[in-house]
Amino acid sequence: MPGMTKNKNYLARHNMEITGYAGNLPVTRQKPGPNISLGKVKFLFPNTDNIYLHDTPAKSLFGETKRAFSHGCIR
C-alpha cells in the first residue's frame, strides 16, 4: 500500500493489477510475464489449503548456503 500511495504508476511498474477488494484494501496479483517473482512455471495441486509449487527467476540463489532468500518455492 505505501508504494501504491506514493506512486500512481506503482502497479504498472511492477506488472501488477487489482483483482478486487477485501474490505477497504485492494487485492492485487502480479500479471504473467518473463520477470515475475514466481518464475515461469507454477504447479497447482487440488487441495483446500491453496498450496502450490513454483519456479524462481533467481536460480543463482540455489547456490547459496543461506536459504532465507525464499520460502522454498512452496506456497
Rounded to 5°, the CA angle 66-72-25 comes to 115
Which of these is catalytic: 1, 54, 61, 64? 54
Which of these is catalytic: 34, 73, 74, 75? 73
Question: What CA–CA distance (Å, rounded) separates 68 from 14?
Answer: 23
73 has catalytic annotation: yes
Number of residues that make up the chain: 75
List the catalytic residues.
Answer: 54, 73
